[in-house]
Chains A and B, each alone.
Chain A
């Protein structure tokens, strides 16, 4: 069974940094791209970014509003994906989810497994 468990959330002051972790089990972690999403309180879902598998260069893509402040990385030896968040703003307050990205026939992406989420609160 695929399991994803996020950790590292909490209360942080504006301008500070925080690193979230997503620990995976139940599948060959290194074979899949991993993505992060977020959901502000009472709001909808927002894609943050993803990191491809090493077989596809381990490259990353980000939503424009987070590019330059957020960095996704992975440690395949530990089956962990990370989301490093710098220069945090109050509007970054949200539940952050990690998800496994799947590919169908080479170009169709979908996100089939999700963690339970971790709450990040940015407030002074």
Chain B
């Protein structure tokens, strides 16, 4: 199975900050990488697919980049509604594994 490792596991930031979350795959996955946001008690929400494509309806302050084994999710200017847990997921091969999550908290 492909292991996905996110860093950091938790992050404190302020409204207006620029934030970057990193995801590393245990082997090359090309650009088969998705990002999700999850708020407590809610279902995950797709933000980015194929490493850099913004899902319809997702604010443009979210962006994704990377290829191979290293990927990043960037939020250009944090808004109050962005405080949540973020997961990367590889879709290169089954099982479609997730990172352990990055909890983004208000500083």
Q: Which residues of A contact B (CB under 8 A)?
A: 37, 44-47, 61, 63-64, 97, 102, 104, 108-112, 114-117
7 contacts across the A-B interface (CB closer than 8 A): A44-B87, A44-B99, A46-B98, A102-B49, A109-B91, A111-B46, A114-B45
The chain B residue with its CB closest to the CB of A98 is B43
Known: A104-B50, A108-B49. A47 touches B95 (CB 8 A): yes
> Is B44 part of the contact surface with A, judged by Cβ < 8 Å?
yes
Which residues of A sit under 8 angstroms from B34, Cβ to Cβ?
110-111
Which residues of A sit under 8 angstroms from B42, Cβ to Cβ?
116
Which residues of B sit under 8 angstroms from A97, Cβ to Cβ?
43-44
Determine chain B's interface SS by DSSP, over half rule. Answer: loop
The chain A residue with its CB closest to the CB of B56 is A112
Query: What is the bound-complex CA distance between A63 and B98, given in angstroms?
Result: 13
Whether A44 lies near B98 (C-beta < 8 A) is yes
Query: What is the bound-complex CA distance between A56 and B87, given in angstroms?
Result: 29
Whether A110 lies near B46 (C-beta < 8 A) is yes
Query: What is the bound-complex CA distance between A63 and B2, given in angstroms?
Result: 12
Partner of A44, one of B1, B94, B100: B100
Whether A45 lies near B44 (C-beta < 8 A) is yes
Whether B43 lies near A117 (C-beta < 8 A) is yes
Whether A110 lies near B98 (C-beta < 8 A) is no
Whether B43 lies near A115 (C-beta < 8 A) is yes
The chain B residue with its CB closest to the CB of A112 is B46
Known: A110-B34, A116-B43. A47 touches B50 (CB 8 A): no
The chain A residue with its CB closest to the CB of B51 is A108
Shortest distance from the beta carbon of A32 to any chain B beta carbon, whole Å? 14
Whether B94 lies near A61 (C-beta < 8 A) is yes
| 4 nearest CB pairs, A to B | A110-B49, A114-B43, A109-B91, A47-B96
Query: What is the bound-complex CA distance between A110 and B88, given in angstroms?
Result: 11
Of A108, A115, A117, chain B has the most CB atoms within 10 Å of the CB of: A108
